[in-house]
Amino acid sequence: MLLHLCAAAKDEISTLQFAKIRAGYDTFYAQCCPPNEQFLECGTACEPSCKNPNPTVCTLQCILNVCQCKQGFYRNSNNTCVDSCAKAQSCPANEEFKSCGTACEPSCDNPNPGMCKAQCIPNVCQCKEGFFRNSDNTCVASCPVGEKCGDTVCKPGTYCSTDIPVCRRPPCSLPPPRCVPDFINEVQLEPTCPANEVFKQCGTACEPSCENPNPMVCTKNCIVNVCQCKPGFFRNANGECVETCIDEKTCKDIVCKKGTVCKQNTIFCIRAPCPQPPPTCVPECNENEEYTECGTACEPTCNGPTDFACTDQCVKKCQCKSGFIRDVSGKCVAECPRGKTCKDMVCKPGTVCQQDRIECVRAPCPQPPPICVPATSCNTVKCPPGKKCIVMSPACTPEMCPPPVAQCV
């Protein structure tokens, strides 16, 4: 349907901007996308690409109104969606391309990394399994004697190292491998955190705070080696982890200008603490009205039945409370005043009272007022199926003519 509409509206579209498209009684805006792409109101933040065809870690962010590759297609370096990508990056001998490589690649200096942080090195060539990177930055199956630690096993907190001396007059002998303290890992794994905080090798990107104590939507991003609040504590505006957040202001603490009143919305939380939003000054409403941040653009009135074809627009204004309706004077009343009927009408001679009736799907259902129509008009005659009403004027001299008569023919 969208492709058909885009084709029909091609004269209105320039450089793939939003096109104004009319379908039936509705006018809406849609985006016409390039080949192999589709328009999404809520697209992914991690669109599959030739660089990263299978994103494993992605945020829950919603990219609004965007053209993205259809299923089975990937965005290449030319910003085009294709069904097959060019071959992966070519790597040197004994290496292989990895979309998420390790931060601790085995090397001749450290062939058996004991402890390694969970960092992802994206799109990198690394040594194949069973190979080690030497001092010449080449992946080899076996390291020179004295450079590779071999079968040396070091205890936790240490790693195998070989000191390569400066050889001034060959031949030179190399010292045997030895275990040395891993000072870098000690510093990273055992930091001193402030009060009410703990060290985490992989912390959350959405730490609970007094401003947002219960993060519902969060990325899966790993914050490496960070101090964060202990469970049950929240980070306040001063950057400290506290067990109880300071109470927010209430309407008693602010003064609104004339014509406005204080309003404080209440938020219900799944778990404590539950900080409330600050109070705000909103327009002062009349009797039986209340201020709403997202009211309907088609408020029901006594002038006519509720308009079923209404936009989803949010209107900030005073509107009638539930159970009330706006009358012709603009006031919100519990019930619309009843209109006059033909029983209340007195028509002059030669006319009769007529009142059309409107059937409503739901109340209120205001009726049109009664009117006086000529007694000889077709308005007072109901014809059977297959016939229509016409006014017959007899042929006579004007001064002696009887009034015309409405008949079904």
Binned at pLDDT 50, 70 and 90, residue 407 comes out as low
What CATH number was assigned to the domain covering residues 2-82?
2.10.25.10
Amino acid at residue number 84 = S
In this structure, what are the phi and psi dihedrals at residue 344, rounded to the nearest 5 degrees? Answer: -95, -5
Output the pLDDT for position 79: 85
| CA separation for the pair 403, 2 (Å, rounded) | 62
Token pair belonging to 320? 């009638």
Confidence of residue 11 (pLDDT cuts 50, 70, 90): very low
Per-position DSSP letters for 93-104, written without gaps between them? TTEEEEEEE-SS
d(CA 408, CA 371): 23
Q: Where are the domains of the chain?
A: 2-82, 191-242, 369-391+402-409
Residue owning tokens 């998420």: 100
DSSP 34-55: PTTEEEEEEE-SS--BSSSSS-
Say which CATH architecture domain 191-242 belongs to.
Answer: Ribbon (2.10)
% of residues, the chain, pLDDT over 90: 10
State the pairing for strand pair 158-161/139-140: unpaired
Q: What are 41-68's pLDDT values in tens digits? A: 888 888 988 878 888 778 788 888 889 9
Is 10 in a helix, a strand, or coil? helix
Write the pLDDT tens digit of every residue in 110-142: 777 767 777 777 778 899 988 988 888 899 988
Global model pTM greater than 0.95? no
Q: If 0-12 CB within 10 Å is exposed, 13-18 middle and 19+ buried, where does residue 312 land? A: exposed
**Three-state SS for 164?**
coil
Same fold: 2-82 with 191-242:
yes
Helix spans in 139-290 (H)? 183-189
* Backbone angles phi and psi of 246, in degrees to 5: -65, 140
